[in-house]
Amino acid sequence: MMATLSREQKNKIHPYKFILLIAIGSIVMMFAGFTSAYVVKSNQSNWLQFSMPPVFWYSTIVMLISSLTIYLAEKAFKAREMARYRVLITITAILGLVFMLLQWFGFSYLEEHGVQIIGSGSNPAASFIGVITGVHMLHVLGGVVALLIMFFKAFSSRRKSYSGVPIDMMNIYWHFVDGLWIYLFIFFLYVSS
């Protein structure tokens, strides 16, 4: 009887993970709406065709590497290799910041090549990319803030909690924002060609 109860408890999803999955579902719907609107609006006569900034390729590589580092951080945490975990969480947070910096460089590249994102003289195509990518960057920033909180907790000498739920949730979320960026990048490449 006790073994059956223990197995049932292990098969249940943690309430925080459930909330995270609902939030991810909502975010997916929001970006599906954004990209659908982009496709519909692209049939307008004033739609500007332009190529994606080359730096977006580098930001994609950075996101893929950060996905690997968060995965390895979770493995290190579960193996109780705390020094390795701390290094990997730190690297992941830095890579998140590098991603956002590269995105900024991408927008600067567009501006330098006559593609204005916002303000007078902007085109709906560029504004859509600015909004979609900007909202994604906000989600990455939220992940970086969560990573920094985990970073400070990992280095705290007062608190020694070995609950795997936070790193599990961070892993899920970070892989999600990574996958979302890859989807958006492929989408932008496909529709801008």
Domain boundaries along the sequence of the chain: 53-192
CA trace torsion 181, 183, 188, 193 (10° rounding): 140
Tokens representing 20?
A: 């995270």
Q: How do residues 172-182 score in pLDDT, each as one tens digit?
A: 999 999 999 99
Which fold is adopted by the domain 53-192? Four Helix Bundle (Hemerythrin (Met), subunit A) (1.20.120)
Going by C-beta distance under 8 Å and a sequence separation of 6 or more, which residues neighbour residue 10?
none
Q: How do residues 102-140 score in pLDDT, each as one tens digit?
A: 999 998 998 888 888 877 777 788 888 888 888 999 999
Per the CB < 8 A criterion, the answer to whether 77 and 165 are in contact is no
Q: What is the mean pLDDT of the chain?
A: 86
pLDDT given at position 163: 77
Confidence tier at 2 by pLDDT (50, 70, 90): low
- pLDDT at residue 82 above 80? yes
Q: What angle do CA 145, 146, 152 make, to 5 degrees?
A: 90
Q: What pTM did the predictor assign?
A: 0.84
Q: Which of 9-18, 52-61, 89-98, 99-108 has the lowest mean pLDDT?
A: 9-18
Phi, psi of 65, rounded to the nearest 5 degrees: -65, -40
User: What percentage of the chain has pLDDT greater than the value 70?
Assistant: 90
Per the CB < 8 A criterion, the answer to whether 27 and 92 are in contact is no
